[in-house]
Amino acid sequence: MLLPLLLLVAGALVVALVRDRREREVLWLSELRGSFLHGAPLGGFASTGGLAELQAPGGLLRCRLPAAWTGGFHEPTTASFDCGSGRRLRVDLLTVERRGAGGPALLESLAATRPEAERSLETLAGGHLLLKYLEARGQNPNQQVVFCWQLARPLSSEQARLATFSLIVPREQAGEVFVRADLGLLDREVRCARIGD
């Protein structure tokens, strides 16, 4: 009689612990997302002299990244960089050609990719659009947090070019000061990046 009662209590305790862990994970991710989308990340540790110009083949994209990050464009539209400590940056370029792709529909298309609470979207000087979002990938112990900036430029009423910068970070590092410094630096440099014709 006592054993079934103990098993029932133990089962209820396990369920409560699992639920508590899930709730803490959701809260942690929500706080991290809010800080990334609407907070003020730390300024980057790299000085202006510590940045190197990155230019995609054909001049499709120009931006600056820390010179210490190793990598570059291995394909005409994809670059990857080792940022150290298990962090990686991936840059993907895409040209969209369809009716209305570069007009007012571009803003609507970007807005539709993520729920409003999970993204920020703004128009930058020069007509570029910037969509920011964060996502978690994988399962423990290999879980990663991906911080994304999607820079878009309308080229014509039927053509737009997008550059997606994805900083991929091991979950346990996502809140660290050096990652927040990377986020501040990347946010500043993505905003200054230029998408070519």
**Residue burial 118-132, b: 16+ Cβ < 10 Å; e: rest:** ebebeeeeeebbbbb
pLDDT score recorded for residue 106: 80
Instruction: Give the per-residue pLDDT at 146.
Output: 95
CB neighbours (10 Å) of residue 36? 22
> Which residues, in sequence order, are CB contacts of 77 under 8 Å at separation 6+?
56, 60, 92, 93, 94
Of 100 and 16, the one with more pLDDT: 100
Is the predicted pLDDT of residue 73 greater than 90, yes or no? yes
**How confident is the model at residue 63, as a pLDDT?**
95
Residue 92 tokens, joined: 């993907």
Host H or E run for residue 121: strand 119-123
Residue 11 pLDDT > 90: no
Q: Is the pTM of this model over 0.85?
A: no
> Which one is predicted more confidently, 126 or 58?
58
- Tell me which of 36 and 23 has the higher pLDDT: 36
Residue that is written with structure tokens 């820390």 in the block: 66
pLDDT of 46: 47
pLDDT in tens, 114-154: 888 889 999 998 889 999 999 988 877 678 999 999 999 98
**Mean pLDDT, the chain, whole residue set:** 84
Fold of 38-195: Protein Transport Mog1p; Chain A (3.40.1000)
Mean pLDDT value of segment 43-72 = 83
Give the per-residue pLDDT at 48.
Answer: 46
Q: Binning pLDDT at 50, 70 and 90, where does residue 33 land?
A: confident
- Check residue 113 and give its pLDDT: 84
Question: What is the pLDDT at residue 26?
Answer: 67
Pick the closest to residue 88 from 98, 80, 96 (CA basis).
80
